[in-house]
Amino acid sequence: MQGKNEEGDGSMMILFKILAGLALLIFASLLSLLFEGIDRIFHARMQSRLGPPLFQPFYDILKLLGKENIVPRRAIPWAFNGAPWVAAATALMVVLYVPMGSLQPILGGHGDLILIIYLLGLSAVAMAVGGFSSGSIYANVGAQREMVLMMSYELPLAAVVTSLAWFAYRSGMPGAPFSLETYVSMPVWSVAGWTGIFGILGLLVALLAVVPAETGKVPMDIAEAKTEILEGLICEYSGRNLAMFKVAFSLRTLAMCAVVVSLFFPWSLGRLLGLNGVLFFVADFLFFWVKVLVVQVLGVTIIRTTFGRFKIWQASRLYWYQVGGLAAAGMVLLTLDVIL
Amino acid sequence: MAVGAGKTYKVPIGPVHVGLKEPITAWLDVDGERIVDATIRPGAIHRGIEFMARERNPIQVIYLAERICGICSFTHIECFVRAVEDAAGISVPKRAQYIRTIVLELERIHSHVLWAGVACYTFGYDSAFNLGMILREKVMDVLEVLTGNRVNYGTGTIGGVRRDITPKVEKVLRDMITFYKNEFDLFYNVATDDPITMARMRNVGVLSPEDAVKYCALGPTVRGSGHRVDLRWSQPYEAYGELDVQPVVPQDLTGEVYGDVYDRFLVRVLEVYQSLEIIEKCLDDLPEGDLMWEPNLPKLLNYLKRADGTGVSSIEGPRGDDTHVVKLTGGEENVTWWKVRAPTYANGVSWPIMFRNNDLADAPLIINSVDPCISCMERMLVTEKKTGSKQVVTRAELLNRCREKTRKVMGA
């Protein structure tokens, strides 16, 4: 009797997870486009322009869905058509592994930070594959740049994640060191001493420096540089495929900012206000997305308004030396914090 | 990205490209991201303006000359008008000379501000581009107050100008000078303090002082390579003789000449300040007097019909020296022939030198760095109708053809 009940609970749980996951995926896609609209308005206002309507990204996507999907004669059709789906799907999957406020991730326990980094990486690789299979010289150059850029920013990214995990493990934070929930349930700042806080600060800046490259925004929009190589790897894309790429770009921005928030700014509003029950979860959920928006505005919008575009070798050098160095410094400081 | 593999690929920039304002093709031989060599293929926007001029009288040609270029429209008519005045022996009243100088300098400000914005846009610095566009709006408004138009001013005529600087206009002009002296600093600082601007412009598209002379670069391009070349200084025309204009060179500010895009940027920015000073001086010294040598149009046309001779004029446009040559025949109402040599024609020759050993990412910036005006430049296009092929005439061939033509004309 009891066994049967558990079985029923199990299947109910799976059904619930599928439904909740689907709802979350749709919610995240819409939210990422909304955030892009906010980003564009902020960007425009900072340049003393009026900017597009808030829902412009939605109109763009809807328009693109209705347009003809052109596959160039020299393209490899299966790779060309498949790449946007893989890019969007992998970026979308990240959302399932990120805890939102006090809500556990839908697939929590089935994947951790390493998986998230791989998913974001896979999304970038899919874009590069799309570029390589376009049969256009500009797309090819763009895809090469994307690959080089990826190799450059993966180093500081990996350094940040592994240092944090090692610190979490050694300082005895409860939970698995690579799991995002560990960092959400207990802010990493609270267990560190003074040296450790400076170390974490270094890691935070290093991670924020990676955000523009991960999301393909100025000054790291080198693979999509429109005044240089005509939008680079999405040069040949149109219609539905381009819409998928646009969604993938917005989702990557959202996912990356969500990871930054989960790792470094996990504070809960509900706990602060002493709420409980449903209200607690709702407040935390909303607060989480507000934090993501703030990180996106600070880490993406303001950066892309203030700077021009790097050249690929300059970006590579920046990530390997300056940002890599910063991450390494953070790592050393965290080590000192644990040892001393 | 295999740099140094020895195998090169051809990448076309243009004819239509986001980073370019006008159609021109640069075929780049690229090894990885590095440009090994470049071939420039113009010829996409030839309109046959000089041919059209042969069916028009000099006054009508003014409006044709104005449409050679969108930015240096007054430079072209000024140059044409001076060539006609040279051919017909017309002297321009002093006040008209000063007003022409003011409009020329306004146009230089317009051109340089626009260019600086577009240069920033080329390497993805959209905020500076938008700031540049806002700044540009002011000078366009002032030109509208002065002439009634924002792009093709229609304000110059043979023997003078058609619009006077009234006290009201003078006030607007002085307001503009104050506005730019305050606001342009902001743009200058935004553009020069930005580390990425420095990284993108320094040591990019280098044109050495020797090469600049060898390939006959003009205007801000040659000044960016450190040479003191400026027709307003070396061969003053209109009111410039009384204004003591000094050529702007980068070494005066930085003490060093790189000859790169950054130096060209610097020269243009400093020239905006210089232009503001020139306008201020012109307004202070503006003499009283007539606006035109002959205000009666039929009378002027009648005089021009009787005029006979060839007139040459060369002036310092925003992009370099603009040269017009006009032939008028006595008894003929129309212009017999007219030749335009815009500065881009000379500056474009040094593109392949600038491209060498730069990155593919720099290509549009290098093309833009000479402030190209392709529609100014394209005066000739050789096409073979039967095969539809476009070919480039070599120098030797051109020389031969010229000799043949001369012999034919001489009846030999």
CA nearest A248: which of A71, A138, A82, A84?
Answer: A84
Confidence of residue B388 (pLDDT cuts 50, 70, 90): low
Min Cα separation B74/chain A (Å): 29
Residues of B in Cβ contact (< 8 Å) with A312: 33, 359, 361
Alpha carbons A50 and A52: distance in angstroms, whole number: 7
pLDDT over 60 at B1, yes or no: no
**Which residue from A225, A306, A310 is facing B127, i.e. has the nearest CB?**
A306
What residues of chain A lie within 8 A of the CB of B126, using their CB? 47, 218, 305
Q: Is a pLDDT exceeding 80 seen at residue A33?
A: yes
Mean of the per-residue pLDDT values of chain A: 84
pLDDT at position A281 is 79
Token digits of residue B211? 């090469």
* Percent of chain A residues past pLDDT 70, beyond the cut: 96
Which residues have C-beta within 8 Å of that of residue B298, sequence separation ≥ 6?
none
- Here the tokens at position B94 are 């002093």
Q: pLDDT for B5-55, tens place per residue?
A: 567 888 888 788 887 878 888 888 888 788 888 888 877 777 788 888 888
- For the residues A162-190, what does the mean pLDDT come to? 79
- Mean pLDDT along residues A48-63: 90
Q: With pLDDT > 90 as the criterion, what percentage of chain B qualifies? A: 3
Choose among A225, A37, A264: nearest CA to A141: A225
- Please tell me the predicted confidence (pLDDT) of residue A62: 92
Question: Is the CB of residue B250 less than 8 Å from the CB of residue B257?
Answer: yes
Percent pLDDT > 90 in chain A is 8
pLDDT band at A190 (very low <50, low <70, confident <90, very high): confident
Question: Which comes out higher in pLDDT, residue A116 or B19?
Answer: A116
Collect all residues of chain B within an 8 Å Cβ-Cβ radius of residue A222. Answer: 361
Q: Sort strands B25-31 and B9-13 into parallel, antiparallel or unpaired.
A: antiparallel
Q: For chain B, what percent of residues have pLDDT higher than 70?
A: 92
> CA-CA distance, B179 to B141, in Å (whole number)?
12
Distance from CA of A306 to the nearest CA of B (A): 7
User: If you measure CA to CA, which chain A residue comes closest to B1?
Assistant: A144
In whole angstroms, give the CA distance from residue A114 to residue B293: 82
In terms of Cα–Cα distance, which of B339, B348, B340 is closest to B374? B348
Looking at residues B361-376, what average pLDDT do you find?
79
8 Å CB contact between B215 and B351: no
Banded pLDDT at A155 (limits 50, 70, 90): confident
**Which residue would you say has higher pLDDT here, A315 or A281?**
A315
How confident is the model over B173-194, as a mean pLDDT? 82
pLDDT exceeds cutoff 50 at A1: no
pLDDT in tens, A257-300: 988 888 888 877 777 777 777 777 788 888 888 888 999 998 88
Calculate the alpha carbon distances from B3 to A244, B22, B32, B205, B357 in Å.
Answer: 33, 31, 5, 19, 11
Mean pLDDT over B157-178 rounds to 87
**CA dist., res. A252 & res. B87, Å (int):** 67
- φ/ψ of A257, rounded to 5, equals -65, -35
pLDDT tens for residues B93-133? Answer: 989 989 999 999 999 999 898 888 888 888 888 888 888 88
A58 falls in which pLDDT band (50, 70, 90)? Answer: very high
Start-end of CATH 1.10.645.10 domains in chain B: 49-341
Q: What are A147's two structure tokens?
A: 């690959």
Neighbours of A281 (CB within 10 A): 16
Give the phi and the psi of residue B35 in degrees, each rounded to 5. -85, 120
Query: Could you say which DSSP state residue A97 is in?
Result: T
Nearest Cβ partner for B124 among A47, A48, A225? A225
For an interface test with B, give the residue of A307, A314, A316, A317 to mutate (most B CBs within 10 A). A307
Q: Name chain A contacts of B363, Cβ cutoff 8 Å.
A: 228
pLDDT at B387: 60
Distance from CA of A39 to the nearest CA of B (A): 14
CB A336: neighbour CB atoms within 10 A?
14
Is the Cβ–Cβ distance between A237 and A163 less than 8 Å? no
Band of pLDDT at residue B386, cut at 50, 70 and 90: low
Ranges A101-110, A163-172, A241-250, most confident: A241-250
Distance CA(B353)–CA(B1), nearest Å, equals 23
Rounded to the nearest integer, the mean pLDDT of chain B is 83
Peptide bond into A105 cis (omega under 30): no
For residue B2, is pLDDT > 50?
Answer: no
Q: Tell me, what's the pLDDT at B163? A: 85
> What are the start-end ranges of the E strands in B257-346?
309-317, 320-328, 335-341
Token pair listed for A300: 């993406």
pLDDT at B328 over 70: yes
Closest approach of B164 to chain A, Cα-based (Å): 35
Q: Which of A138, A148, A308 sits opposite B125 (nearest CB)?
A: A308
Q: Do A308 and B33 touch (CB under 8 A)?
A: no
Largest CA distance in chain B: 71
Distance CA B269, CA B383 (A): 40
Q: Give residue B165's pLDDT band: very low, low, confident or very high (50, 70, 90).
A: confident
Residue A61, pLDDT score:
92
Complex-level ipTM beyond the 0.95 threshold: no
What is the Cα–Cα distance from A166 to A170, expressed in whole angstroms? 6
Which segment of A73-77, B88-92, B196-200 scores lowest on mean pLDDT? B196-200
| Burial track A114-142 (b if 16+ CB lie within 10 A, e otherwise) | eebbebbbbbbbbbbbbbbbbebbbbbbb
The residue-averaged pLDDT of A141-152 equals: 88
Longest pairwise C-alpha distance within chain A: 69
Q: Is the pLDDT of residue A59 over 90?
A: yes
Instruction: Identify the residue whose tokens are 């002493």.
Output: A274
pLDDT on residue B382: 59
pLDDT at residue B3 greater than cutoff 60: no
Residue in B with minimal Cα distance to A138: B11
pLDDT digits 0-9 by tens, B217-257? 888 888 888 888 888 888 888 888 888 888 888 888 888 88
Question: For residue B392, what pLDDT is reported?
Answer: 60
- Is pTM beyond 0.90 here? no
So what CATH class is B49-341?
mainly alpha
Q: How far is CA B196 from CA A310, B36, B120, B214, in A?
A: 7, 24, 10, 31
Nearest CB to A219: which of B19, B196, B360?
Answer: B196
